[in-house]
Amino acid sequence: MTEAAATAPATDHPSAAPSKVSAVSPSSGRRVPLRFYNTLTRSLDEFVPLHEGRVDIYACGPTVYRPPHIGNYRSFVVYDTMHRWLESQGLRVRYVMNLTDVDDKIIGAAAEQGVSIREITEPQTAIFFRDLDTLGIRRADSYPRATDHIPEMIALIERLIANGHAYVTEGSVYFDISSFPAYGRLSRTDFAGIQSGAGLSTRAASIDADEYEKEDARDFALWKAAKEADVRTGAAWTTPWGPGRPGWHIECSAMSMKELGESFDLHLGGEDLIFPHHEDEIAQSEGATGKPFVRLWLHVTHLKVNGEKMSKSKRNDYRLDQIIEMGYSPAAVRYVYLTSHYRSELNFSLEALGAAGTAVQRLLDFRRRLAETETSAAAPESGLRLIAARATDAFHQAMAEDLNTPKALGALFPFVGEVHAALDRVVAVRPEELDAVRDALARMDDVLGLIELAARGEQVAPETVEWIEQKLRDRDAARGRRDFAAADAIRNELLSAGIVVEDTPGGARWKKKPA
């Protein structure tokens, strides 16, 4: 082990650290420090990026052996919200999400089906990207795949062997956790009883499985000697130690360091990854470089479905496409994820999706009303600018305090109600006041990603629009000759086609029925 690796304190960071980051309300100019809960320190830490005006983020993406379930997408929406929020504050974000395309599960599935690992992973990767688009999740800057970074993994393992942190046995390479005294600091697990060199004496002190229990503190595999299934499925590569394939944990260290450098700002993941995956990432990364690996670790709590833990055996591990086929909109799914703080347990239910659909429709109706509101330079002051400024400040304070999306929604919806009430009292508003309201709504939704996503679902084919408009003309004619039974029949016909008719002082309007 090198002296640097042995002595580098966990809190050291590159010396050229810039100032802390603040959220700035566009309405008032008020600055609020950005704070996030750091799993490493178990505290709300003010965010200080390594580089002025820039944030580097690495997120653990899916293992592409089957379609992600709704629990996975809770994490991915949280990551997307973080991405959007930081960019809304004028920061340049380099956002990387990995794709795990070789591990125990993938090889097992490929061996069972008699195909290569790529034949398993390629279709699942396509489903993942399709679902990202369905949920309005903005693409990361890069999606590195494990199988494309084998040389980087081998080089990293060679550094660990040279530093005295890893050892070779029977074609496999293991990390000696007794060589890294800080092992366990992320998961707050005390491994002080491990004797130095324990891993060197016997294979019984090592573990080959990619995933294992927190209490199972043994030397973990950096590289695994090839088995027959590995070779047969195309999951074996040539190395100085013989044919084999990488352990799960080394993949993320190698890919994140290639994409973002040996130290970076934010590492995102689900709470189930704290141990062993992220604990092992820290050990192997800092063991190789002698530098702190990640400044801030952010973890998303699991969700439950109808109050129960999600599992295949309970048949409640829903996929996104299954939820959409039930008639619920992607915007409603995204909304449900935002209603609970990412560190709080979320209960996902069909009832919650129904309520979410109603809430999203309220936002769409609000934006439509703003588009149709009359303006006049001669109109009296209506107080809309003050309403917009208060809402924007409250929204920014909520997001700056550990990405608190429930509080952010708690700023958005009272804003909608206050604006509706103000518009009800006037015939027209000043253009600059309406612009302030529209701008506030657009800024908040740019972070939450709800309205534009919901608007996609309102899109109707031109020929359908023509049919609807003709039906409304027919209905107007029926009402004009006082044939109200015919008018009601047309309304019901449109409703059965998923079109809701609203009668307003300006005439009949239509919209798609909320999911």
Query: Most distant CA pair in the chain: distance in Å?
Result: 96
Three-state SS annotation for 36-48 = EEECCCCEEEECC
User: Which residues make beta-bridge pairs with 63?
Assistant: 100
Residue 511's pLDDT is: 76
Q: What is the mean pLDDT of residues 122-134?
A: 97
> Which of the pair, 214 or 512, is modelled with greater confidence?
512
DSSP string, 442-496: HHHHHHH--HHHHHHHH---HHHHHHHHHHHHHHHHHHHTT-HHHHHHHHHHHHH
Distances (CA, A) of 392 to 36, 364, 396, 441: 20, 19, 6, 9
Residue 196's pLDDT is: 41
381-424 pLDDT, tens per residue?
Answer: 999 999 999 999 999 999 999 999 999 999 999 999 999 999 99
Q: What is the mean pLDDT of residues 59-80?
A: 96
Beta-strand ranges (E) seen in 289-345 are 294-300, 303-305, 308-309
- Distance between CA atoms of residues 96 and 504, nearest Å: 48
For the entire predicted model, the pTM comes to: 0.86
Element (H, E) at 361: helix 350-372
279 within 8 A of 250, measured Cβ to Cβ? no
* Of the listed ranges 197-211, 284-298, 303-317, 357-371, the one predicted with least confidence: 197-211
Element (H, E) at 252: helix 248-260
Average pLDDT, the chain: 90
> Which of the pair, 60 or 467, is modelled with greater confidence?
60
Length of the chain: 515
Task: Kindly tell me if the per-residue pLDDT of 373 is higher than 50.
Answer: yes
Contacts of 85 (CB under 8 A, 6+ apart): 399, 403, 447
The structure tokens listed for 447 are 């972070």
- Banded model confidence at residue 509, pLDDT cuts 50, 70, 90: confident
- Distance between CA atoms of residues 395 and 413, nearest Å: 11
Element (H, E) at 393: helix 384-400
Question: Residue 252's closest CA among 121, 100, 375, 138?
Answer: 100
Contacts of 117 (CB under 8 A, 6+ apart): 101, 102, 106, 107, 110, 147, 233, 234, 235
214-254 pLDDT, tens per residue?
Answer: 556 689 999 999 999 999 999 999 999 999 999 999 999 99
Residue 14's pLDDT is: 42
- Distance between CA atoms of residues 353 and 227, nearest Å: 46
- Distance between CA atoms of residues 79 and 405, nearest Å: 12
Helix (H, G, I), strand (E, B) or coil at 112: helix
82-93 pLDDT, tens per residue?
Answer: 999 999 999 999
Residue 462's pLDDT is: 65
CA dihedral 62, 68, 69, 71 (to 10 degrees): 20
- In the chain, what is the straight-line distance between the N-terminal and C-terminal CA atoms, in Å? 59
Long-range CB pairs of 6-10 (<8 Å, 24+ gap) are 8/286, 8/290, 8/291, 8/292, 10/40, 10/182, 10/185, 10/292
30-65 pLDDT, tens per residue?
Answer: 788 999 999 999 999 999 999 999 999 999 999 999
For the chain, domains (ranges, CATH) are 3-20+49-300 (3.40.50.620), 308-458 (1.10.730.10), 462-512 (no CATH)
Percent of the chain past pLDDT 90, that is, above it, reads: 75
